Structure 1
Amino acid sequence: MCGILFGIQRTKDVSSLEYSRTWSTLQELNARRGPSAQDTHSVKIDQDYTQCGDVGSGKEMTFYGAVLHLRGDRVTRQPHVSKTGNILLWNGEIFDGIFVDHHENDGEVLMTKLEAFSQTDNVQSHTNRILQVMASIEGPYAFVYFHALTRTIHFGRDCLGRRSLLWHKRNNEGSNIDLPFILTSVGYSSFRKDLMLMEEVPADGIYRLALEAQSKMSLTRYPWASATSIQPIPNEVCSRMPLPFGKVNDHIPTVNELAEPFPKDIKFDQAHPEVVPFVTEDMRRAISDMIEILGDSVRRRVQDIPRTGQLHEARVGILFSGGLDCLCLAALADRFLPQDEAIDLLNVGFENPRTVRAQAAEEALALKRLKKLSTSVSNTGESKTNSPITQPRSKYNVPDRVTGYESLAELRRIAPNRHWNFVEVNVPFDEATAHRGEILERIAPLETVMDLSIAMAFWFASRGIGFIKDEEGELMSYTSQAKVLLSGLGADEQLGGYSRHKEQFSQSGWEGLIQELQLDLDRISTRNLGRDDRIISDHGKEARYPFLCTNVVQFLSSLRVDLKVDLRYPRGVGEKILLRHVARELGFKRASSHWKRAVQFGARTAKMTESGRAEIGQQIVDRGSE
């Protein structure tokens, strides 16, 4: 994982106050993403596009890369610069599609691949080859590539948008763009009026920027498209990249294909873990295939991570709420990591004043009732042995903490030889408030109150500062050193885990459910992946999403809908039914019936204060003026 930063500006304007402030701020922020190494490379180009010396009327391009060492035997600095003057900034992971030996750095391998056809001076031919290479990669990425011979810059994100990339462009209309132009992995809030405005680069294709005379540049988009969705787009070239997965299977299951009807009085809940929906032969094959394909995705994401600490220290952490998704990832990661190596389970809980006040009022009422009962018992002379006893609850005993410990017990039962570090990340309200402005800056340009609630949970969890219990059950300070964090994101979108899926099924049946699943897949790149990448990488950590491996997405998209989600069943049974069967196959009984709980409610970051977007904006303005 890396922080990449690219800028192009008129040479005479590079030292302008606005540009220099913006560049300095972005360079500092990107350095946080790559603490292993940082480097810069600049190229000056005159109006005739020949690389030259200091010509004030020309353009200057600057490439900055900050590296987090996660691939290869050594730290490989970037930008990657070839002998022919081509330059690559790479923020990604190649897990498949292009062979990368575990001793190699994937950025270097990609640069070698691009250099193989770099001698062509035909712009469209060169672009087509780049599109072929980028479309072949299985893994998350954002990149910037300058080809000296054709004077073009290609950039973009993978088709699911798993890596963040922001841009600043002066002209948002048409194909011509004014200078300056900036691309960056991370930005700052739109409320910062002293710096240039940043927006997310859409994960809708690969872009080509052609350098032209004066301050103009032409921008062309080469979109991702499935074989079933290619339609003419006005003012756009015909070259397109095929998506590595198809549309969601729109087959409506027939009566014969569906599982047998079930009696209304059957109890599907955690109190009856032995009661499960009937498993058809089709479902049995889907379970086996899901374990194999998801397992391979996890294997590729946990193997060959360089060691930076002691042999027994965790290299892998899991954002662990105790829910179904992260629990399955933990069980699969256990299969592919050495048994003497710990795995960190990062479980976050917040001191939420609103919840603490409600909890205190509830406990006060219970105590009042206890005193009243005690007085009544004393007056009648009855024994007090059966009197209820009330214990104060920890302010960090949030729903995800309770679920986390329940799931930990099952995890230790099925994988007793693994050392599981259950990291209690406890966040006092004052500390959350102190870092609020910093977190607000990282989520930009997504700046809603809900974005903030989710981001706060991920920011503190990925920081990894908390407590673990020793053998006597006493809490001791602990800081996770794991640089790779697995996340279950993508499971709910593809397997029908949200309440809106239930609503669509209730209103429009299987057809409405299929349409909602397709909508979730189509918009997954725009909703939260860029934001989460910016948040987690702020600590020099990398998030990896096994459920969003394109092989997993392809498999789930091809499956008949009822094999993924069957909302004829009650909550805790029908949503993500395939993954629930997978969990049972992996050995989990109680956890297989856990309900979906959004992170902001599970960690209690929702509504910590009454502030809205206006107050958020003011806090950022105040922070920027410090």
Structure 2
Amino acid sequence: MCGILFSIQDRNVEPTENFAPTWSTLQELNSRRGPSAQNSHNVALNHPSTDSLDPSSWSNNVDMTFYGAVLHLRGDNVTRQPHVSSAGNVLLWNGEIFDGIAVDHHENDGRVLMDQLEAISTRCHGAHDDHRQEFLSLMAKIEGPYAFVYFHAHSQSVYFGRDCLGRRSLLWHKSDQENSTIGLPFILTSTGYSAFRSELLQLGEVPADGIYSLSLASTSPKAIARHPWVPASSSRAKEHGTMTLPFGRVNSTIPKDSELSAPFADGLKFDLAHPDVVPAITEDMKDAITGMIKVLGDSVRRRVQDIPRTGLVHDARVGILFSGGLDCLCLAAMADKFLPEGEAIDLLNVGFENPRSVKAKAAEEALALRRLKKKQGVTESSLSDSTGGDKVNDEKLRSAKPDTRFNVPDRTTGYESLAELRKISPRRHWNFVEVNVPYEEATAQRSEILERIAPLETVMDLSIAMAFWFASRGIGFIKNEQGELTPYTSQAKVLLSGLGADEQLGGYSRHKDQFTAAGWEGLIHELQLDLDRISTRNLGRDDRIISDHGKEARYPFLSTNVVQFLSELRVDLKVDLRYPRGVGEKILLRHVARELGFDRASSHWKRAVQFGARTAKMTDSGRSEIGQQVVDRTAAK
């Protein structure tokens, strides 16, 4: 994980007095992503001057600044960036290469990539079109999340972009005719802050629909060009200036009746009262289970095996954003297979004090107490004396009760799943970290978290981001051998997330709605839509939030190898919504969970993090808030 920051300035345009503090703030924010090392590099291009302020005349006198902050997660030693070659080429790299290009576990992947780029540059010296196509082909080979900026000196071209799934954040500030005189003509940054704080920055997420380029040669127009990702089946797949997607479209085959299991044969009851009832497993499903375990296991292995140890021997190097649900539980079991037996794994489970929920629960308890007294024929007055003894006893009783403010739904399922983990892997030291967030602390950090998700700003974005920000910070409690909570801070720099499972395996209620309305065709269409838009929904936001603590999120379900495997599967082998909730959605992963030894957790339902951790609608004023509404910033102050 790294923080990368890049700017192009026209020396004919005098920067405003706001440029220096803006740049300084962006450097500070990016350095939080990469606490291991920071460095910068400047490049000046000189061309005949013009008097125009139009962005298309940037060719006159251009200054470029490259700033990189590094979180050491690859290689034996910390490798600073930007990577600069003797030919003047410069690379800012925020990514991980897990496959596609060979990287030894002793090597830094950014350095390896730079060597590959240098080989292309030498081989194609002077042939700019050939260089561009070889460069794009190399980037398309990489399996792993990335965002980058690359300056090729000979062609005077800047390339930048994100991987095809958008797993790393990259924001841009683009100048136009109206604001080209502000001194910030073009900026790329891993993270930023909102326009609410700055009149200068108008940041947007760089789309993950291709690699972008900008020629700074004096004879070239300065328009940004896009080199798109295209499916292998597309007629454009071999077209010059494109990149082929590493996975195909969702399998559109409608299952035949003969291929489907009979969900209600022999009077089987699929409900919470019968968790031991399992849908029939066909031969096709057996193959799918075996294949899923293999491809997902390989994805997890590549993401946990080479993390350098920077702390004490017993410190966990890997943490899991752990709600106790199906996705994260399977990831935990697979991480267990590929980490040394004596090493701890941190399970980060977050719970918020939600005043509305606490108030509602207190009201329920009071009502239950009144009903009990009434049933026993005891009046309120008979339990009280002139000294108010009943009130005193009630207060003593409340003070003696354990603190239940953080007993959110995800805490309950988290402990249930922990018990199953300890059963299948008793020698592993599982650190179940209770990240408890009082309402006052959540309120105090709200403004900062809102800045980290910029340019996103909806109520739903904020609710989800709050859960991930506090969970990834890793400050909480673990239980000692006596069952007492003791303070604990996770040192794990790599956090595994189950994001991507619901989108590909039909875990959302909208998948059920589409199946009900339009059958298998509607379900397939919705799964394809989820895959098409996954880069625009959550990933950039989550990357900015989690990396704010110098941590890196890794998404095993979004390995392009896993995506390819699932895209090829027939739809009913992934999700069969003829079955009821807790059975049919993500049916493949439920079978995988049972294969791994998780009988109880295999029937867990999907629960959105904002409801499982109770960050949604934390006050009565939030009752009218809708997820896609813009956050009321006056409440964030």
Q: TM-score, normalised by structure 1?
A: 0.92
Match of 2:222 in 1: 217
Q: Secondary structure at the match of 2:212?
A: strand
Rate the CA distance shift 1:293–1:56 in 2: closer, same or farther, 3 A. closer
Contact 1:11 1:56 in 2 (8 A): no
Q: Secondary structure at the match of 1:578?
A: helix
User: 1: distance between equivalents of 2:117 and 2:220?
Assistant: 28
Deviation string, structure 1 residues 76-109 (Cα, Å, up to 9, x no partner): 0000000110000000000000000000000000
Q: Secondary structure at the match of 2:44?
A: strand
Does residue 367 of structure 2 align to residue 365 of structure 1?
A: yes
Match of 2:345 in 1: 343
Match of 2:53 in 1: none
> Which of 149, 163, 166 is the equivalent residue of 2:168?
163
Identical-residue share of aligned pairs (%):
72
Q: Secondary structure at the match of 2:426?
A: coil
Match of 1:87 in 2: 90
Match of 1:19 in 2: 19
Does residue 529 of structure 2 align to residue 519 of structure 1?
A: yes
Contact 1:212 1:218 in 2 (8 A): no
Unaligned runs of 5+ in 2: 50-57, 381-396
Does residue 148 of structure 2 align to residue 143 of structure 1?
A: yes
Opposite residue 373 of structure 1, the aligned amino acid is K
CA displacement at 1:212 relative to structure 2: 4.4
Match of 1:107 in 2: 110
Q: Secondary structure at the match of 1:569?
A: coil
Map 1:482-497 → 2, pairs under 5 A: 482-497=492-507
> Which of 590, 594, 617 is the equivalent residue of 2:633?
617
Map 1:354-393 → 2, pairs under 5 A: 354-375=356-377
Map 1:57-96 → 2, pairs under 5 A: 58-96=61-99
Rate the CA distance shift 1:432–1:37 in 2: closer, same or farther, 3 A. same
> Which of 302, 305, 322 is the equivalent residue of 1:303?
305
Opposite residue 632 of structure 2, the aligned amino acid is I
CA displacement at 1:20 relative to structure 2: 2.2
Opposite residue 502 of structure 2, the aligned amino acid is D
Unaligned runs of 5+ in 1: 50-54, 379-388
CA displacement at 1:163 relative to structure 2: 0.2
User: 2: distance between equivalents of 1:56 and 1:323?
Assistant: 54
User: 1: distance between equivalents of 2:452 and 2:219?
Assistant: 34
Deviation string, structure 1 residues 344-393 (Cα, Å, up to 9, x no partner): 00000000111111111111111212222333699xxxxxxxxxx99677
Q: Secondary structure at the match of 1:117?
A: helix
Does residue 324 of structure 2 align to residue 322 of structure 1?
A: yes
Contact 1:18 1:196 in 2 (8 A): no
CA displacement at 1:22 relative to structure 2: 2.3
Contact 2:146 2:163 in 1 (8 A): yes
Match of 2:203 in 1: 198
Map 1:261-272 → 2, pairs under 5 A: 261-263=263-265, 265-272=267-274
Rate the CA distance shift 1:272–1:614 in 2: closer, same or farther, 3 A. closer
Contact 2:4 2:94 in 1 (8 A): yes
Q: Secondary structure at the match of 1:275?
A: coil
Contact 1:4 1:30 in 2 (8 A): yes
Match of 2:394 in 1: none
Match of 1:52 in 2: none
Opposite residue 351 of structure 1, the aligned amino acid is E
Contact 1:321 1:347 in 2 (8 A): yes
User: 2: distance between equivalents of 1:226 and 1:4?
Assistant: 29
Does residue 109 of structure 2 align to residue 97 of structure 1?
A: no
Match of 2:315 in 1: 313
Greater Cα shift, 352-361 or 478-487: 352-361
Rate the CA distance shift 1:614–1:338 in 2: closer, same or farther, 3 A. closer
Contact 1:414 1:587 in 2 (8 A): yes
User: 1: distance between equivalents of 2:566 and 2:219?
Assistant: 49
Map 1:410-421 → 2, pairs under 5 A: 410-421=420-431
Deviation string, structure 1 residues 160-185 (Cα, Å, up to 9, x no partner): 00000000111399xxxx96111000
Match of 1:425 in 2: 435
Contact 2:232 2:244 in 1 (8 A): yes
User: 2: distance between equivalents of 1:415 and 1:351?
Assistant: 32
User: 1: distance between equivalents of 2:526 and 2:304?
Assistant: 32
Match of 2:131 in 1: 126
CA displacement at 1:255 relative to structure 2: 0.6
User: 1: distance between equivalents of 2:22 and 2:308?
Assistant: 34
CA displacement at 1:11 relative to structure 2: 2.4
Contact 2:314 2:343 in 1 (8 A): yes
CA displacement at 1:614 relative to structure 2: 6.3
CA displacement at 1:619 relative to structure 2: 5.8
Q: TM-score, normalised by structure 2?
A: 0.90
CA displacement at 1:615 relative to structure 2: 5.8
Contact 2:15 2:184 in 1 (8 A): no
Contact 2:156 2:216 in 1 (8 A): yes
User: 1: distance between equivalents of 2:290 and 2:107?
Assistant: 33
Match of 1:4 in 2: 4
CA displacement at 1:261 relative to structure 2: 3.9
User: 2: distance between equivalents of 1:124 and 1:588?
Assistant: 54
Contact 1:14 1:20 in 2 (8 A): no
Rate the CA distance shift 1:538–1:230 in 2: closer, same or farther, 3 A. farther
Question: Runs of at least 4 residues of structure 1 off by over 6 A?
Answer: 389-393
User: 1: distance between equivalents of 2:618 and 2:419?
Assistant: 30
Match of 1:548 in 2: 558
Contact 2:333 2:596 in 1 (8 A): yes
Opposite residue 599 of structure 1, the aligned amino acid is V
> Which of 586, 589, 593 is the equivalent residue of 2:599?
589
User: 1: distance between equivalents of 2:109 and 2:495?
Assistant: 19
User: 1: distance between equivalents of 2:543 and 2:438?
Assistant: 24
Q: Secondary structure at the match of 1:412?
A: helix
Deviation string, structure 1 residues 399-453 (Cα, Å, up to 9, x no partner): 0000000000001000101000000000000000000000000111111000000
Match of 1:502 in 2: 512
User: 2: distance between equivalents of 1:482 and 1:456?
Assistant: 19
User: 2: distance between equivalents of 1:426 and 1:165?
Assistant: 31
Opposite residue 107 of structure 1, the aligned amino acid is G
Contact 1:319 1:346 in 2 (8 A): yes
Contact 2:458 2:630 in 1 (8 A): no
> Which of 149, 153, 156 is the equivalent residue of 2:158?
153
Match of 1:333 in 2: 335
User: 2: distance between equivalents of 1:20 and 1:525?
Assistant: 32
Contact 2:59 2:218 in 1 (8 A): no
Match of 1:534 in 2: 544
Cα-Cα RMSD: 2.4
CA displacement at 1:75 relative to structure 2: 0.3
CA displacement at 1:158 relative to structure 2: 0.2
Does residue 571 of structure 2 align to residue 566 of structure 1?
A: no
CA displacement at 1:56 relative to structure 2: 13
